[in-house]
Amino acid sequence: MTIDNRLYDRLAGSWWDQHGFLHALTALNPPRFGYMRRVLVEDLHQNPADLEILDVGCGGGLLAEEFARLGSSVTGVDPSMKSLDAARRHAEDVGLSITYEAGVAEELPFPDSSFDAVYCCDVLEHVEDLDRVVAEAARVLKPGGAYLFDTINRTWRSWLVIIFLLQDWNWTRCMPPNLHDWRKFIRPERLRDLLLGNGLWPGSFRGMEPRVGIFRVLRALRRRRRGQISFYEAFRQMELGESLNVGVQYLGYARKPA
């Protein structure tokens, strides 16, 4: 199966549409943005307001705006021009100063040691060359900088949840077809090896999963499938949060030695 990354152009109008599919990703912001902010502030003792941050695969700017509100100097890069247009318009509408540039994660259009922090969310499982993506992130990080990410583990549980329930099964699916390919999901041990191979020191990895039971998850998906609730509301009702279980989705960070 081939991943259809062109859907980010086709669905670019839904990034900030409360009823749109891509806007549902804001339901993931509390756990993943909370994790990244905590790593920067508590683990790495950095003030976000002092940081130059790169958002790789920024899409419509859902996470870039969160960091901009902390006072960070944020640059977003993405190959989807229509998504970048949506990001620029929304940042202007809400009075945030964010720089958005076209580019791909495998060849970032920035000099070496440009950023204090780089993050990739909903990106690593979509790229053509994962090794190159990690290498490029390490290259543009300043010494002492942090690389943060979330991605999807390659397990039977991730196939059941992400591929079967969310993407393929007609009774519950809420994702476009060909959004994900299970073969491109990334086991944590492989990602750790890639980080180390590019001179980055891995920190802790944390899981991300619903805080409600499976029946409430299925009920939310079924209501979404019937058109009774929005994509965002379906994911909000799952109450996604951090966990110790990295069997489906996980978050992590690594640091470039000073």
Cα radius of gyration rounded to whole Å, the chain: 17
- pLDDT value, residue 125: 96
The strand order across the sheet containing 52-56 reads 99-102, 73-78, 52-56, 115-121, 141-152, 249-255, 201-210, 240-243
| Phi–psi pair at 221, nearest 5 degrees | -65, -40
Buried b (16+ CB within 10 A) or exposed e, 32-57: bbebbeebbeeebebebeebebbbbb
Whether 206 contacts 35, CB under 8 Å: yes
Structure tokens at 72: 């960070």
pLDDT of amino acid 256? 98
Give the pLDDT score at 39: 96
Neighbours of 216 (CB within 10 A): 14
Residues in contact with 209: Cβ distance below 8 Å, sequence separation at least 6, in sequence order: 240, 241, 243, 245, 248, 249
Tokens of 255: 């640091």
pLDDT in tens, 32-79: 999 999 999 999 999 999 999 999 999 999 999 999 999 999 999 999
Domains and CATH numbers, the chain: 7-154+178-210+241-255 (3.40.50.150)
The pTM score is 0.95
Question: How many other CB atoms are there within 10 angstroms of residue 164's CB atom?
Answer: 14
For 163-182, write each residue's pLDDT tens digit: 999 999 999 999 988 899 99
CA–CA separation, 108 and 85 (whole Å)? 19
Low-confidence ranges of the chain (pLDDT < 50): none
Distance of CA 74 to the CA centre of its chain: 15
